Amino acid sequence: MRARYYFIAVALSIAASISNPSFFAGASETDLATDSLSSAWEEVWGVDEFGDQTDDTYFFGTFKGSFSNTATTGSDLKAEIVVDSQCRVYLTLLEYNDHYATYLESDELLVKTKVGDVVSEYIPTGSAPNSPLKLPEEFKDSLYSGVLVKVVAYIGSSSYSFQFDSGDYCDFIWNKAQEYIDNGRTEYGIALATELSTYYPDDKYDKEIYHKALNLLYDEKYDFAQELFNAIARTNSQPMNLTDMGLYRASDIQNDSPYRLAYASEVTNKKIFTYDDKGYLLNTKLLSSTDMDYSGLATFGYDNNILSSVNFTGFMGSTEENRGDVSGSGLYTDGNFSMDLSVQDPANGAYNVSINQELDENGNITRETKEYSLSGITSEMQYVYDYDSEGRIITRTDQKYTDSQIQWEWPHNYFYADNGCLDRIEYTQTINNQNVAYAYYFYYEQGKAVDENIVNSLAYY
């Protein structure tokens, strides 16, 4: 199919004196025709005033229809929908397939859609006599509806009718998003995925976006993985529905089948658990969008099938300006665990974080301490665990100390399903003198973990 180019100066700021408001340079109007109600959507590249291709990308679809006015009834119409690189939507109408519809500044403009039984109205904007009509953001509810969309546009006394299958557009957008993510235009690909997740009426594409995010995570592209996870993030009271991905909430687990913890999610943190063929916890991958949390990979080692070591590589900080590499290793000895992390902080220089865990006779963590010193100020985080009669964590209280003075403490409450599987952790933080509630949801996959106590102790590490 012939490449087409979006002419920036003509398409986005058409003066009233321009007689041919084509979106494209170098393509005839005959070339833009289609023989079907719904064209195959195309990627279109912009050109500058010298005819050279730019980095701007546009998506273009052509649809047949009919129009009527005071001089004709039911005559041929060609409708063009263009979505620019900022995800703005434009509509162009060509009477008799080759004459751009004209209008006066005083003419009323209206676009109506019918999706199923739902009729919506939108007020477009444009510049007389014949610029493309810019559709409002709300039109995307129809564009991403995933079903047949019937459209009627009114310009003064003229009416224009056509229809298109928005499912084709949604599939096209997701394919382009994946292509861009894989081929170096990652930020644009993520923007498209976010649009799709935002406007599509159910979680069909969320499932695929989730798997794409996992692939980025495994490739250690943490920032991009985090953005994709954010694209499908739900509110704290509405965890993601990941059943079709093979991930289950605790309440969905059947007692006669082995399940193990696979994924944990809240607004700012995501964690993936992976296992070896024998069911031993192999590693955890952590993503965080907060400034003082770690993002990276923890790998676990075993001695005679007993957890003996952990190695961590990653970074701390959510932006390039405050980011520093983090690496370290820890050992389980004599029933306790200790770990030293080295942090390269661009803002504060290099420093170490010392982590120690105290375990009871059952191997349960009772207290964990993280200590570090910045600019001569020693800070310490203490995590105090309480257990129920069945040996399950019921609360974890986070306490922050600076120079031995407690600054704050945040209790975390653990909730379990009737089958005993950890369902969620709820906690409240005080931010800018306001209490903000959070929930950390847990998801399971089919399979057996050799030591569930180890996995659960690392669930919110």
Q: Do residues 147 and 117 touch, judged by C-beta distance below 8 A?
A: no
Q: Do residues 291 and 431 touch, judged by C-beta distance below 8 A?
A: no
40: exposed, middle or buried (C-beta count within 10 Å: 0-12, 13-18, 19+)?
A: exposed
- Rounded to whole angstroms, the Cα distance separating 23 from 100 reads 11
Band (233; pLDDT cuts 50, 70, 90)? low
What are the pLDDT digits (tens) for 371-401?
887 777 788 888 888 888 888 889 988 888 8
Whole-number pLDDT of residue 56: 82
pLDDT tops 80 at residue 194: yes
Whole-number pLDDT of residue 372: 80
pLDDT tops 80 at residue 441: yes
Provide the percentage of residues in the chain whose pLDDT is more than 70. 78
Whole-number pLDDT of residue 440: 82
More confident residue, 75 or 367: 75
pLDDT tops 80 at residue 333: no
Whole-number pLDDT of residue 322: 62
- 110 DSSP β-pair partners: 154
Band (459; pLDDT cuts 50, 70, 90)? low
The answer, yes or no, to whether the previous bond of 129 is cis (omega within 30 of 0) is yes
Least confident range from 14-18, 249-253, 449-453: namely 14-18
> What letter does residue 216 receive in the DSSP assignment?
H
- Rounded to whole angstroms, the Cα distance separating 47 from 80 reads 19
**Read out DSSP for 63-79?**
EEEEEE-SS-SSEEEEE
Least confident range from 158-162, 188-192, 336-340: namely 336-340
pLDDT tops 60 at residue 122: yes
Is 0.85 topped by the overall pTM? Answer: no
Q: Do residues 324 and 311 touch, judged by C-beta distance below 8 A?
A: no
Whole-number pLDDT of residue 237: 37
pLDDT tops 50 at residue 332: yes
What are the pLDDT digits (tens) for 32-83?
333 334 457 998 888 888 888 887 888 999 999 999 999 999 999 999 999 9
Whole-number pLDDT of residue 242: 58
Q: Of 317, 318, 378, 375, whose CA–CA distance to 344 is shortest? A: 317
Q: For 184-266, where are the alpha helices, taking DSSP H only? A: 186-199, 204-218, 222-231
- Rounded to whole angstroms, the Cα distance separating 52 from 382 reads 60
pLDDT tops 50 at residue 1: no
pLDDT tops 90 at residue 327: no
H or E element at residue 141: helix 140-143
What are the pLDDT digits (tens) for 82-104?
999 889 999 999 999 999 999 99
pLDDT tops 80 at residue 410: yes
Provide the percentage of residues in the chain whose pLDDT is more than 90. 28
- Rounded to whole angstroms, the Cα distance separating 368 from 381 reads 8
Tell the residue number behind the tokens 């990276």, with chain if given. Answer: 296
Mean pLDDT of the chain: 78
Least confident range from 13-27, 109-123, 138-152, 166-180: namely 13-27
Whole-number pLDDT of residue 38: 43
Q: What are phi and psi of 232, to 5 degrees?
A: -110, 15
Band (10; pLDDT cuts 50, 70, 90)? very low
More confident residue, 347 or 243: 347
pLDDT tops 70 at residue 344: yes
More confident residue, 223 or 252: 252
Token pair for residue 233? Answer: 């993030």
Annotate 149-184 with three-state secondary structure: EEEEEEECCEEEEEEEEHHHHHHHHHHHHHHHHHCC
